[in-house]
């Protein structure tokens, strides 16, 4: 179990993690579950955290990996639907309440455009631009070189610009 100091420090990043989880899932109950699962894992494996390194990046990394794990699981389950139609209402977590299907709609073009980006593009923009994370920390979260992060940010912004232009024409 985590020490009091570790727990206190980890909880300071709760809102940032929840915001990130919301943009990943677009679903408040699923975001709740995702964040709770993230902290559960962080507390359980707190002994693996190296003091002096960035706790924030470590927590974001756990959250993203947890999301991808369950997201892939959901994708697999959807693919196995009998009628072949993806059932997007399948909750990310099996014990998620029924309200989990209440997806939060994007109200602005910027939100809609961000939502249409692939996950790896959306994530780099959220971490680097929204959370203001250093490129080295973003690289740690995504488990890739800093150069890859820069490249993804560039391409993500290009895609985002294109989408925003399309919305502006409509």
Partner 1 sequence: MSGDHSPDSDEALGTRLREELPRYTASAHLRAAIAEGAAPPRRRAAWLAPVLTAAATALVLGLVFLPLLPRLVPADPTERLLRSVVAEHTRTLMWGARHPEVIPTALPWLTQESGIGLRQVFVGDDRLGFVGAEPVYLEGHFGMALHYRDGDGHLLTYIVLPIAGLPVPDRRRVQIERGTNRWRPALMYDSGFSAWVWRQGELACFLVSDMVSEADVERFKDYFVRVRVATEPVPAN
Q: Which residues contribute to the site for partner 1 (CB under 8 A)?
A: 1-2, 7, 10-11, 14-15, 17-19, 22-23, 28, 31-32, 35-36, 39-40, 43, 107-111, 113-114, 125-126, 129-130, 132, 154, 157, 160-161, 164-168
CA distance 5 to 117: 37
Treating both helix axes as pointing N-terminal to C-terminal, what angle do 14-25 and 55-79 enclose, rounded to 10 degrees?
A: 20
> Could you give the CA distance from residue 52 to residue 105 in angstroms, rounded to a whole number?
39
Closer Cβ to partner 1, 31 or 96, answer by number: 31
* Minimum distance from residue 87 beta carbon to partner 1 (Å): 25
Is the Cβ of residue 127 or residue 139 nearer to partner 1 in the bound state?
127
Residue 57 or 126 having the CB closest to partner 1: 126
Decide whether 72 or 161 has the Cβ nearer to partner 1: 161
CB atoms within 10 A of CB 26: 16
Who contacts 69 (Cβ-Cβ below 8 Å, separation ≥6)?
none
Q: What is the DSSP letter of 33?
A: H
Neighbours of 136 (CB within 10 A): 11
CB of 169 vs partner 1, minimal distance in Å: 8
For the bound state, the minimum distance from the C-beta of residue 161 to partner 1, rounded and expressed in Å, comes to 6
Least distance (Å) from partner 1 to the CB of residue 63?
Answer: 12
């Amino acid at each position: 179990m985590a020490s009091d100091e570790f727990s206190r420090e980890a909880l300071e990043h709760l809102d940032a993690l929840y915001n990130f989880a919301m943009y990943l899932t677009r679903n408040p109950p699923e975001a709740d579950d995702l964040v709770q699962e993230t902290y559960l894992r962080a507390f359980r494996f707190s002994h693996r955290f190296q003091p002096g390194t960035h706790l924030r990046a470590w927590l974001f990394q756990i959250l993203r990996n947890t999301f991808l794990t369950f997201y892939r699981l959901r994708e697999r389950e959807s693919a196995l639907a009998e009628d072949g139609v993806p059932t997007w209402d399948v909750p990310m977590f099996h014990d998620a309440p029924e309200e989990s299907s209440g997806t939060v709609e994007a109200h602005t073009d910027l939100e809609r455009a961000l939502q249409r980006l692939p996950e790896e593009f959306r994530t780099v923009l959220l971490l680097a631009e929204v959370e203001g994370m250093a490129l080295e920390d973003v690289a740690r979260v995504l488990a890739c070189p800093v150069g890859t992060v820069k490249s993804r940010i560039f391409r993500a912004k290009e895609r985002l610009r294109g989408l925003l232009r399309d919305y502006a024409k409509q």
